[in-house]
Amino acid sequence: MFKTSRTGRRLRILWIVLLTPPWLVGSLMIAGGLFEGDDTNVEMMIAGAILIGATLPWLAIRVGLPRLWRDMHHSPLTIGLAIPGVLFGSLFLFMGLLEEDEPVIVGIGLFLVAAPLGWCLFRAGQRWRRRQRMVHDLRTYAVGGPIVDTDPFAVIPFVVVGPRIYYPLNNVLLYQDIDQLVWAYGEQTIYWYQLAIWNRDAHAVILPIHVLDAPEALNRLRAVAPWIATGFSRTLVQTWNIDHAEFLALIEQHRTSGQPFAPTWAAGSDTVNVVPRSRQSSQIDFGSASRREQREIERVLTLWSSNQPRGVSLPGPQEQGASVERAG
Amino acid sequence: MSDELPPAAPPPTNVVHQPFRSRPLGLLLLVGAAVPPLAALAQAWFSIFYLGDDPRPVDLLLIALAVTLSFWMVKRGRKLRTRDAAEVLAADSRPPVVYLRPFRADERLQSGMPLGLRHGGRAIESLISSDPTEETLARGLREIGPFVAIGAPGEKFATLGAARMYVGDEEWQAKVDELLIRAAAVVLQPETSAGTRWEVMRVASAIDPRRVLLIVPNSADRPLGYARIRAAIAADFPVPLPSDCTEADGFMFDANARPSPLNVLRRGALAPFVAQVQSLEPNRGGVRV
């Protein structure tokens, strides 16, 4: 079962609370438009449909219903345009066909239906072509074992071949050794989902994935690299950020012994709700937050790469002086 | 007019870099911090209620920027107004509370997300914030005496929390010894580096354990860090720290050096330690009573 965080459950409740009023009012307006007196009130029906239609794209993304649209799923804009377009286009068509001699309305309706669908098909084609190129590169260059996936990169954004994991990043097929992996978890906002896979050098590859496919992706990682930490918790973050050397040592210990990484303190949810970085947030803080983060990342990377031996011998008080690293 | 150049000044020896401090400038920043938000609010009020304009998103953005600037001015102003530890010790007759920690603790920031280089995907906020431990300690222990520490070399501005004194590489251990001798209490944050291990050894061997507050990684948030520190100080303290301690980030000790867990970041958590120190005889030379 794919576990979600408490924040995720709260978000789901928030979604229900937010979506219920427009759906209720919209349904009442459509019903009212249908049964108003002897005639139908088309305007009221349209208003009701608009109210409901505005919620559809977000609802579709949230519940992950349209698995068939996986290829366009990573772009909320695409769905945000497509669903209302089809919906309103259909209404225009309906109105145009109800009324006699309204070719303009029919034309608008046809355009509204065709344009978003065409855009979706174009985007899906783009992704399909890109994926085919990645698959071609994978079949050409991957070495070390057979490619087990029948349709690589279609559902899971990485492929494991022998001792390496292959993934597309910025339209280039990259790989790294599996024994370098240390940590994986999912990141989620209301719009999108992505998988973060960290390696020993504190580099993470971030792969967009459908939320419904994330459990399978994490399970595959657990199967090929049982020693890695999977899931997200405050304890794991603190341990990674501050007790980095011990964390890597523990992972390495699990890797060499072939044991799955499952200490009780590392238990967490598979996914974490994150806050997307926007240009607005940078404007508000003059970009100081990102500069501060950048400095902190540089600091910890320098610290982690310094490879200082731990447990140095303790100098006695008579050995005061240059041999002792300063503290205060 | 002689062609001879004046003799070159001898190079300064053992010059210790001091951070920039200016109490008047700090006061100016603190007072001036109110100006940007007030000006942004006044501008928004003027344009909406006087000129009759509609509220604009840019007004909200201006107010947010002004508040951010104001926070920055307050923080910088407080840093500029910090006093040197020597001044603080001269002005306060009580024995000091000495804070010993690795200098890395001063630099450390808290991040809600893993730190490292991300490739691909969407950028996310990592929710970076300052570590509140030192300022919490400073607030909680001010009843005992002035809270002082050795400053990290090369700081542009003094850190908030303990009053810093900046000393050279050759004299820091002597200065720590000098502070320990007159300390009413010692806050010790151990690490595995040689410098902090020397401090652990000095404190464990010379200071009454009832005067020692040990700051450790929170065992719930950083179990590996807690285990590392527990192992590192095991040889110095007669009674080892508990291995299965939950939610503790500090320990105080009784007369037999038996540790009691504390959660120092919680409000009022330091009260037992303050009461214990205040119940002791005044420190007479830092030696074990």
Nearest chain A residue to B152 by CA distance is A328
Tell me: pLDDT of A311 over 90.
Answer: no
Nearest to A194 among B121, B221, B225 (CB): B121
Q: Is residue B3 part of a domain?
A: no
- Answer whether residue A154 is part of any domain: yes
User: What are A19-34's pLDDT values in tens digits?
Assistant: 777 788 888 888 887 7
The pLDDT of residue B5 is 56
CB contact under 8 A, B128 and A293: yes
Alpha-carbon gap: B194 to the closest alpha carbon of chain A (Å): 5
Q: Do B120 and A205 touch (CB under 8 A)?
A: yes
Same domain, B211 and B236: yes
Q: Is the pLDDT of residue B230 over 80?
A: yes
Q: Is residue B16 part of a domain?
A: no
Same domain, A123 and A33: yes
pLDDT of residue B226: 92
Domain assignment of residue A324, yes or no: no
**Does residue A136 have a pLDDT over 70?**
yes
Provide the pLDDT for residue A187.
93
Q: Establish if B265 touches chain A: CB-CB under 8 angstroms.
A: no
pLDDT of residue A310: 36
pLDDT at B47 over 60: yes
Structural domain harbouring B63: 23-80
Do residues A20 and A122 both lie within one domain?
A: yes
Per-residue model confidence (pLDDT) at position A282: 61
Pairwise CB contact (< 8 Å): B122 & A192:
yes
DSSP assignment of B187-242: EE---SSHHHHHHHHHHHHHS-GGGEEEE---TTT-HHHHHHHHHHHTTTSSSPPP
pLDDT in tens, A31-47: 887 776 666 677 777 77
Indicate whether A95 and A195 sit together in one domain: no
Say what the pLDDT of residue B55 is: 76
Task: Please check whether residue A249 lies inside any domain of the structure.
Answer: yes
Contacts of A58-67 with C-beta under 8 Å, sequence gap 24+, read A58/A15, A58/A19, A58/A190, A59/A15, A59/A19, A61/A190, A61/A191, A62/A12, A62/A15, A62/A190, A64/A210, A64/A211, A64/A212, A67/A210, A67/A212
> Is B111 inside a domain boundary?
yes
Q: How many folded domains does chain A comprise?
A: 2
Number of structural domains (chain B) is 2
Residues B115 and B205 grouped into a single domain: yes
Query: For the segment B171-197, what is each residue's pLDDT rounded down to a tens digit?
Result: 888 999 999 999 999 999 998 888 889
State the smallest CA–CA distance between residue A168 and chain B in angstroms: 9
Lowest mean pLDDT: which of A113-122, A296-305, B255-264?
A: A113-122
Q: How far apart are alpha carbons B91 and B79 in whole angstroms?
A: 19
Claim to verify: residue A161 and residue A245 sit in the same structural domain: yes
Pairwise CB contact (< 8 Å): A285 & B68: yes
Do B69 and B144 share a domain, yes or no?
A: no
Average pLDDT over residues A281-298: 73
pLDDT of residue A154: 79
Rounded to an integer, the average pLDDT of A249-257 is: 94
What number is the average pLDDT over the span A112-135? 79
Domain boundary among A106, A132, A158: A132
Q: In this structure, is residue A89 part of a structural domain?
A: yes
B129 and A CB contact within 8 Å: no
Confidence of residue B141 (pLDDT cuts 50, 70, 90): very high
A-B CB pairs within 8 A amount to 184
Q: Is residue B172 domain-shared with residue B146, that is, in the same domain?
A: yes
Does A196 touch chain B if contact means CB atoms closer than 8 Å?
A: yes
Q: Is residue A307 part of a domain?
A: no
* Pair (B122, B214) in one structural domain: yes
- Assess A265–B contact: CB distance below 8 Å, yes or no: yes
- What ipTM describes this predicted complex? 0.80
Continuous segment of H or E residues that includes residue A205: strand A203-208
Which of these three, B80, B107, B125, is where a domain ends?
A: B80
User: How far are the Cα atoms of A270, A272, A302, B131, B191 from residue B104, in angstroms, in the given order?
Assistant: 32, 29, 13, 12, 10
Verify that B124 and B43 share a domain, yes or no: no
Q: Mean pLDDT over all residues of chain B?
A: 87
Q: Say if residue A91 is in the same domain as residue A33.
A: yes
**Nearest CA-CA distance, residue A320 and chain B, Å:** 7
Position A30 in a domain? yes
Closest Cβ–Cβ partner in A277, A288, A312 for B124: A277
Does a structural domain hold residue B110?
A: yes
Please check whether residue B89 lies inside any domain of the structure: yes
The CATH number for A226's domain is 2.30.29.30
Of A194, A283, A325, the CB nearest to B195: A325
Same structural domain for residues B263 and B174? yes
Question: Is A237–B111 a contact, with Cβ atoms under 8 angstroms apart?
Answer: yes
Confirm or reject contact between B24 and chain A (CB < 8 A): no
**pLDDT above 80 (res A200):** yes
pLDDT digits (tens, 9 = 90+) for B68-121: 899 999 999 999 999 999 999 999 989 999 999 998 887 778 888 999 999 988
User: B16, B62, B103, B113: which to substitute to probe chain A, counting the most A Cβ within 10 Å?
Assistant: B113
Dihedral sign for Cα atoms in the order A90, A95, A100, A106:
negative
Short-list B115, B125, B4, B191, CA closest to A203: B115
Q: Which one of A204, A243, A280 has the shortest CB-CB distance to B116? A: A204
Q: B201 and B269: one domain? A: yes
User: Which domain-ending residue is among A132, A167, A187?
Assistant: A132
Is B221 within 8 Å of A317 when comparing Cβ atoms? no
Residues of B in contact with A310 (CB under 8 A): 192, 228
Give yes or no: residues B167 and B264 share one domain. yes
pTM of the model: 0.75
- Which one of A9-23, A296-310, B52-66, B215-229 scores highest in mean pLDDT? B215-229
A37 and A119 share one domain: yes
Low-confidence winner among A42-51, A212-221, A240-249, B186-195 (lowest mean pLDDT)? A42-51
Give the pLDDT confidence score for residue B73 in this predicted structure: 94
Q: Give domain status of residue A327, yes or no.
A: no
Residue B15 lies in a domain: no
Residue B286 lies in a domain: no
Which of these three, A258, A274, A290, is where a domain ends? A274
pLDDT at residue B12, rounded to an integer: 52
The per-residue b/e assignment along B227-253, b for 16 or more CB within 10 angstroms, e otherwise, is bbbbebbeeebeeebeeebeebbbbbb
Decide if A314 and B174 are in contact by the 8 Å CB cutoff: no
With respect to residue A208, please indicate whether it lies within any of the assigned structural domains: yes
**Residue B284 belongs to a domain:** no
User: Average of pLDDT values for A53-62?
Assistant: 63
Do A90 and A171 belong together in one domain? no
Q: Do A328 and B172 touch (CB under 8 A)?
A: yes
Shared domain check, B164 and B46: no
pLDDT at A309: 37
- Domain with A198, as residue range(s), is 146-274
Most confident of A38-47, A288-297, B278-287: A288-297
Q: Are residues B70 and B134 in the same domain?
A: no
Same domain, B230 and B90: yes
User: What pLDDT sits at residue A316?
Assistant: 33
Q: Per-residue confidence at A153, pLDDT binned at 50, 70, 90?
A: confident
Indicate yes or no: CB of A250 within 8 angstroms of CB of B201.
Answer: no
Note the pLDDT of residue B250. 92
B227: which chain A residues are within 8 Å (Cβ-Cβ)?
246
